[in-house]
Each structure stands twice: as C-alpha cells, then as structure tokens.
C-alpha cells in the first residue's frame, strides 16, 4: 500500500439484547435502527457490519455505537481488513443483496 492510500476496514457489531419487556424491546429496536441509519448492513439478526475508510473512521463509529448502547445486554465490536472480510465463507443460506458483489469488488453503502 502506497503512502496516502486509505486502508479499507470492516467494523462488525454483534449483540444479544434482552427483549422480555416492552422497554427492552423498544431499546433493542432503537439500537438496530441506529445501526441501520449509521450505514451498517445486517448480515444476520444481531450481527451488523459496515465499511470504514481507515482507523480514524473505525474509531469514530465505535464512539457512535458506544453513545447509542442500550441500557442492558451484550454488545461487541470487531474490526477486520477488507481482505479478511473477503475471505469470509457463507456455509449455509444465501448472501443478502448488499453482499452480492463480484470478487475483489467493494460495495460502499
């Protein structure tokens, strides 16, 4: 990578949130809507990912996720390179429409 090139990274957010009460369901729904509105695509229920242009963008989005965390539950984040993301294997099911791209082609949402 030449100087000045921007490293493409993927930021994953994984979560398990309680939904037993009306407030918990509302909080979980708000969190999912925040992720969608912030450019994340749902890979699976409770697994969202978005493209980031460099470490600074990852840090910015981690701060945004942290500010929008629900009161309870478990939320994790994982950063991977575009190359690592490209090596992900779909073992069962079908890729979502946002994931269907030609090899080595990046989709910015």
Residues flagged as binding site for Mg(2+):
16
Q: Is 30 left (phi over 0), alpha (psi -120 to 50) or beta?
A: alpha
Binding-site residue positions: 16
Give the residues across from 10 on adjacent strands.
51, 80
- Bridge-based pairing state of the strands 47-53 and 41-44: antiparallel
């Amino acid at each position: 990578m030449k100087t000045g090139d921007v490293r493409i990274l993927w930021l994953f957010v994984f979560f398990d949130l309680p939904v037993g009460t009306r407030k918990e369901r509302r909080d979980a729904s708000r969190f999912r809507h925040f992720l969608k509105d912030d450019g994340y695509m749902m890979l699976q229920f409770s697994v969202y990912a978005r493209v980031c242009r460099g470490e600074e963008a990852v840090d910015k989005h981690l701060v945004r996720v942290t500010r929008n965390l629900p009161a309870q539950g478990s939320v994790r984040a994982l950063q991977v390179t575009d190359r690592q993301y490209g090596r992900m294997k779909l073992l069962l099911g079908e890729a979502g429409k946002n994931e269907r791209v030609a090899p080595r082609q990046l989709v910015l949402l």
